[in-house]
């Protein structure tokens, strides 16, 4: 049994995580924080959420828990992670604070100095399926971004075999909860309803360096991405469609076998039969990633769907916790 705390409990990922933690028999939630609503119940602040008393982050006894989950904006996460590690507590950070390997890249993409650059080397990138060995016992886990989770899982089998021959185009769609609960004009109902909006297209989205850095670790071919995310007027769900130029010696049945073999023992990854497509409805409210594929004239078209708040955030964070502490990986997630 371990004791955990959640910082930033009133946001979408925080609430999702607290719901999941309630189903985990080896975890006790000790505190959940909110700056704006301390001393209220989570259920009062977020209708339908578990009835758990919130506290001010200043009063969080970091040293009394084994692990804290950071469901905060990245600036606050970096500082909170440093404080938690100083107190001897492990950290799983859902923000982007520790996903990039170096402080210069962070500064370029996030427009500010990294508040704790000395911790970047230690952070383990928490794409569970590909980083399991490094996650065991890790002190600091950088949970992946939601878009990168789909894109990286969709490309991993091909990269291991260096089967990609050039630039990959990613057309991705996310529900509005991906933008968080903190109010912003661009995610208000009237702004998003009955619209389908591309944003940060091409090579301008902050998830681009995160994805390309991991791809470069897997293969010398280092494919470049053109990445075009879209905001869809639905509450949750994320779907990426990838157009992947293939080396000429790969054919469709071989590729399908490659995906099946790579993910054969993975409890949360489903490879569809050739020609079938992944959809958001197949994964919503689950920690699964569903992947479909079809080959067209030397281009592999891969669809990959997740629930952005589960496999894209809180679910994968819990999966990582299970690996870090040696629990059965599916506990609390099935």
- The binding site for ligand NAP (CB under 6 A) comprises 8-14, 34-37, 71-74, 76, 94-96, 145-146, 177-178, 180-182, 308-309, 312-313
Output the smallest distance, CB 98 to ligand NAP, in A.
11
DSSP H helix total and E strand total for the chain: 10, 14
Distance CA 21, CA 27 (A): 7
Distance CA 93, CA 71 (A): 7
3-state secondary structure 63-121: HHCCEEEECCCHHHHHHHHHHHHHCCCEEEECCCCCCCCCHHHHHHHHCCCCCCHHHCC
Nearer to ligand NAP, 34 or 284 (CB): 34
Output the smallest distance, CB 237 to ligand NAP, in A.
10
Nearer to ligand NAP, 34 or 319 (CB): 34
Nearer to ligand NAP, 69 or 327 (CB): 69
Bin 10: left if φ > 0, else alpha if -120 < ψ < 50, else beta: alpha
Q: Which residues are catalytic?
A: 146
Spatial CA neighbour of 166 closest among 223, 113, 111: 223
Distance CA 118, CA 291 (A): 37
Distance CA 79, CA 68 (A): 13
Distance CA 104, CA 299 (A): 35
Distance CA 259, CA 280 (A): 20
Output the smallest distance, CB 250 to ligand NAP, in A.
32
Output the smallest distance, CB 87 to ligand NAP, in A.
17
Residue nearest to ligand NAP (CB): 11
Cβ–Cβ under 8 Å, residues 180 and 267: no
Nearer to ligand NAP, 45 or 277 (CB): 45
Output the smallest distance, CB 271 to ligand NAP, in A.
24
Nearer to ligand NAP, 77 or 89 (CB): 77
């Amino acid at each position: 049994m371990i004791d955990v705390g959640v910082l930033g409990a009133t946001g979408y990922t925080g609430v999702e995580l607290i719901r999941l933690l309630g189903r985990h028999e080896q975890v006790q939630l000790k505190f959940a924080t909110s700056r704006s609503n301390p001393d209220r119940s989570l259920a009062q602040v977020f209708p339908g959420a578990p009835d758990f008393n919130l506290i001010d982050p200043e009063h969080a006894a970091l040293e009394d828990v084994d692990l804290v989950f950071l469901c905060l904006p990245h600036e606050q996460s970096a500082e909170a992670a440093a404080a938690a590690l100083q107190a001897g507590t492990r950290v799983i950070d859902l923000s982007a604070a520790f996903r990039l390997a170096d402080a210069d890249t962070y500064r370029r993409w996030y427009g500010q100095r990294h508040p704790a650059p000395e911790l970047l080397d230690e952070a383990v990138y928490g794409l569970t399926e590909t980083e399991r060995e490094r996650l065991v016992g890790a002190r600091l886990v950088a949970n992946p971004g939601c878009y990168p989770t789909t894109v990286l899982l969709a490309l991993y089998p091909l990269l291991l075999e260096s089967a990609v021959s050039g630039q990959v185009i990613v057309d991705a769609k996310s529900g509005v909860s991906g933008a968080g609960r903190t109010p912003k004009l661009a995610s208000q109902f009237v702004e998003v309803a009955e619209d389908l909006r591309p944003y940060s297209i091409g090579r301008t989205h902050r998830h681009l360096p995160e994805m390309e850095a991991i791809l470069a670790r897997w293969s010398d071919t280092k494919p470049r991405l053109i990445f075009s995310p879209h905001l869809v007027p639905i509450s949750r769900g994320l779907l990426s469609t990838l157009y992947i130029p293939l080396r000429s010696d790969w054919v469709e049945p071989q590729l399908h076998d490659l995906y099946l073999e790579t993910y054969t023992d993975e409890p949360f990854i489903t490879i569809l039969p050739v020609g079938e497509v992944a959809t958001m409805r197949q994964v919503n409210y689950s920690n699964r990633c569903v992947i479909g594929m079809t080959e067209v004239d030397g281009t592999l078209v891969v669809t990959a769907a997740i629930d952005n708040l589960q496999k894209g955030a809180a679910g994968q964070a819990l999966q990582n916790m299970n690996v870090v502490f040696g629990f059965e990986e599916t506990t609390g997630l099935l």
